[in-house]
Amino acid sequence: MRYLHTMVRVSNLDDSLDFYCNKLGLKEVRRIDNEKGRFTLVFLSAPSDEERAMKDQAPLVELTYNWDPEDYKGGRNFGHLAYRVDNIYHTCQRLMDKGVTINRPPRDGHMAFVRSPDGISIELLQEGGSLPPAEPWASMPNTGSW
């Protein structure tokens, strides 16, 4: 398993970039604008991690800016921790065998979400691209929220 990023939702992208980059000193290493989903993702790295972040896409802070206004009271601006795993199906099965609920199953062979005992969302991403869809995952419904 490898740590990837921590996602934080932001209400004003310009103000957030001013804080994280101009004041704190992080570097923007990647940006995704998704018109269909109406959001922008900006990935930031610490200066000494910039080379590794460009190569491995980790370790990063992911700023998520939703184009439509949202209320982030109660800590909803914190999104999730993300880890890349060798085999998402084996990882999810191991977690289920230990009593962990798979909130968003890896139906696509690529991504799953679970929650910590304190309700922190953990994103699991398949190393090296998606695995072929497989049961029981492909038809497993979502459980709760992530």
Active site residue 50: no
Separation of alpha carbons 45 and 26, rounded Å: 5
Residue among 27, 122, 43, 20 at smallest CA distance from 78: 122
How is residue 91 written in tokens? 């990882």
Q: What is the DSSP letter of 46?
A: -
How is residue 127 written in tokens? 């190393």
Selecting among 50, 51, 62, 123, the annotated active-site residue is 123
Query: Which positions are annotated as active-site residues?
Result: 123
